[in-house]
Amino acid sequence: MWWYIVAGLTIVAAGAVAVTVILVLSAAFAALAASAVAVFTAGFVPVAMRRAGAVVLRDVDQGHLRVAPPDPPPPGRDPGYLSYYFGPAWRDCGDMLVAGGRAAVRRALSLRAKGPRSVLGYLLDAWRLPDELNSWPGVVGKVIFTGGLVGGLVGLVAGAAVAGTFLLVAALVFALLLGALLGGTWAVCAVLHLVELAALRVRGITVECPSCQRRVGVPVYECPQCQELHHRLLPGSLGVLARTCRCRAELPTLLLRGRSRLRAHCSHPDCRGVLPIGGLTAPTHHVPVVAGKVAGKTVHMLAAIADLRDDDGFAFGDDHTRDSFVNVAEQLQDLRTVPSTLPTAPLRAATFFVGVGSRRRLVYLYDAAGEYYQSSDKVSGLRFLGSTAGMLLVVDPFSLPSVLSRMTAEEIELPQHSTSPPDDVVSRIADGLRERDVGRRRDRIGVRVAVVVTKCDVLLDRGPVPHPYEVRDATGRSERSAAVAAWLADTAGEGGLVRQLANQYAEVGYFAVSAFDAFGAGPRRSGRTGRELSNDPPSAPLRWLLRPRAGAL
């Protein structure tokens, strides 16, 4: 009997020992699984980061960035690629978070058959292993592997907590850094734009359209490669220092980086005229050439520009002006070939740069047809009067009755000449300038006037009317100016004109020129007295208008 008891107790003790061993094994396996799985799961952080990094290391656009300009661009959008920092970076940021998070979750929890198995998949597969034994070892194995599964799940949660904390902190830091970068980029854009505006304001630089004569705030720039127009080529959402055009040409957004070398157009939609190349790099100087019909405005303009062309820093402002003056030498050889400016022709300024360094100027020379100055209404319509800084008043000596009568009385052969008296034109222009409110100095119109007596080669060559510098010896500029003024008042009978100009304008200078001096104004012998005299160079009136105020006459 007692043998049965002893055997029973032995069996129970052995069973207890076996169960204890199994539970200890299960707990040990659980601890081992928990540690291994926690470390393994935390190790997915580099996988997630690598996947996130791969998103931005591709050089191809899968379409999610939406940086390419729409075709056609909607109103207000230029045909340039969107700057990466103004939207696409956030879209990439979102993609990186999603890609990194998905990679980590897939490696840890995915139960899909395709692709590499996840940690959870490995744990479940290991837990199912004893099922194939179908006997008591299978039950024992199930108990031990259940411990492993529980430990593995605990390890998975712990590893995921560490990895999640890492990724969350990394995402927060990344978002903060990216936000700071984008904010900084906005600030840089604003500062660059403001600095450029301030520099232009300080130097008094503007640009006006030679075609419509209106001021242009932001020129419309043309891509040199595809000729697409960019309406706001400034630091902004399409680029900070440069913008990528639809054709992938890089266009500078700052004048300092060469924006002014691009072909520019007027920003007014009803005009779109071509602006001078290099506009907004030098102060502009608007100079109308004023006179009645056939007074020689165009010839004087040609001669003045021909005289200036050899100066350091001279450059044509646009192709239109360059083309117009390409044959200037031939035209000045035979003045009859110079076409009259037609009143029906579009009024477009000739533009060119003069001077170097800080004295560089962009000059707009307006050669409006004489018909424009024949009525006050037409003068009022001349927009360029609003930005006029100086005026070339061309006086044809043979339009003055006193000179004409003396020359015709002696049957002197005269060139084609004007019949419009200059004083009428002067009055209308003065009214037009006052209407445009061009500014005043010493109660007079604050515009310099260079009075240019033209065709002086005829006065020097023949006839009873003396050349202005024959009447009075004159060497310095002020003496020569006084000599021409005296000639107009005393010899030509235009004292009224001289007084009118002196009363209306702050500064008036007088010049005696001949277009034939365009290629060198040397001394010429008077046909009347035999004295050698020099006319003023054709460019002298323009140079006088452009000189700084400090050196006023």
Q: Where do we find the tokens 């640009």?
A: 207
47 binds another protein (CB under 8 A): no
Which residue, 30 or 238, has its beta carbon nearer to another protein?
A: 238
237 binds another protein (CB under 8 A): no
| Interface with another protein (CB under 8 A), residue from 30, 38, 89, 430 | 89
199 binds another protein (CB under 8 A): no
Within 10 angstroms of residue 177's Cβ, the number of other Cβ atoms is 10
- Strand ranges, E, within 328-443: 350-354, 361-366, 390-395, 440-441
Which residue, 254 or 362, has its beta carbon nearer to another protein?
A: 254
DSSP state of 532: E
- Strand ranges, E, within 404-480: 440-441, 444-453
CB-based contact 512:471 (threshold 8 Å): no
22 binds another protein (CB under 8 A): no
Q: Min. distance of Cβ 257 from another protein in angstroms? A: 14
92 binds another protein (CB under 8 A): yes
Whole-angstrom distance, CA of residue 493 vs CA of residue 512:
16
DSSP state of 135: S
Which residue, 68 or 471, has its beta carbon nearer to another protein?
A: 68
Whole-angstrom distance, CA of residue 139 vs CA of residue 522:
123
Burial class of residue 102 in the structure, from the number of CB atoms within 10 Å of its CB (0-12 exposed, 13-18 middle, 19+ buried): middle
Which positions from 249 through 288 interact with another protein, judged by CB under 8 A?
250
Q: Could you report how far apart the first and last alpha carbons of the chain are, in Å?
A: 146
Q: Min. distance of Cβ 124 from another protein in angstroms? A: 28
| Interface with another protein (CB under 8 A), residue from 1, 3, 4, 62 | 62
Which positions from 129 through 188 interact with another protein, judged by CB under 8 A?
162, 165-167, 169-171, 173-174, 177-178, 181
Whole-angstrom distance, CA of residue 351 vs CA of residue 277:
9
Q: Min. distance of Cβ 167 from another protein in angstroms? A: 8
| Interface with another protein (CB under 8 A), residue from 79, 141, 151, 239 | 239
Whole-angstrom distance, CA of residue 328 vs CA of residue 314:
15
DSSP state of 80: B
84 binds another protein (CB under 8 A): yes
Q: What is the dihedral of CA 195, 198, 203, 208, to 10 degrees?
A: 100
Whole-angstrom distance, CA of residue 212 vs CA of residue 347:
8
| Interface with another protein (CB under 8 A), residue from 56, 191, 226, 553 | 56
Two structure tokens written together for 185: 């980029």
Segment interacting with another protein (CB under 8 A) among 64-72, 290-298, 384-392, 446-454: 64-72
244 binds another protein (CB under 8 A): yes
Which residue, 36 or 99, has its beta carbon nearer to another protein?
A: 99
| Nearest alpha carbon to residue 231 among 218, 213, 246 | 218
Which residue, 50 or 203, has its beta carbon nearer to another protein?
A: 50
Whole-angstrom distance, CA of residue 328 vs CA of residue 303:
8
49 binds another protein (CB under 8 A): yes
Whole-angstrom distance, CA of residue 126 vs CA of residue 120:
10
Q: Min. distance of Cβ 74 from another protein in angstroms? A: 20
Q: Min. distance of Cβ 238 from another protein in angstroms? A: 10
Q: Min. distance of Cβ 56 from another protein in angstroms? A: 4
83 binds another protein (CB under 8 A): yes
User: Mapping DSSP to helix (H, G, I), strand (E, B) and coil, where does residue 362 land?
Assistant: strand
What is the DSSP annotation of 148-159? HHHHHHHHHHHH
| Interface with another protein (CB under 8 A), residue from 8, 15, 43, 53 | 53
Which residue, 40 or 84, has its beta carbon nearer to another protein?
A: 84
Residues that contact another protein, how many (by CB under 8 A):
40
355: left (phi over 0), alpha (psi -120 to 50) or beta: left
Segment interacting with another protein (CB under 8 A) among 10-18, 25-33, 237-245, 296-304: 237-245
248 binds another protein (CB under 8 A): yes
Which residue, 51 or 293, has its beta carbon nearer to another protein?
A: 51
200 binds another protein (CB under 8 A): no
111-143 b/e with 16+ CB inside 10 Å = b? Answer: eeeeeeebbbbebeeebeebeeeeeeeeebbbb
295 binds another protein (CB under 8 A): no
Which residue, 92 or 307, has its beta carbon nearer to another protein?
A: 92
67 binds another protein (CB under 8 A): yes
Q: Min. distance of Cβ 178 from another protein in angstroms? A: 6
| Interface with another protein (CB under 8 A), residue from 60, 111, 202, 550 | 60
Whole-angstrom distance, CA of residue 48 vs CA of residue 101:
6
Q: Min. distance of Cβ 76 from another protein in angstroms? A: 21
- Phi and psi dihedrals of 259, rounded to 5? -60, -30
Catalog residues that contact another protein under the rule CB under 8 A: 49, 52-53, 56-63, 65, 67-68, 81, 83-85, 88-89, 92-93, 96, 162, 165-167, 169-171, 173-174, 177-178, 181, 239, 242, 244, 248, 250
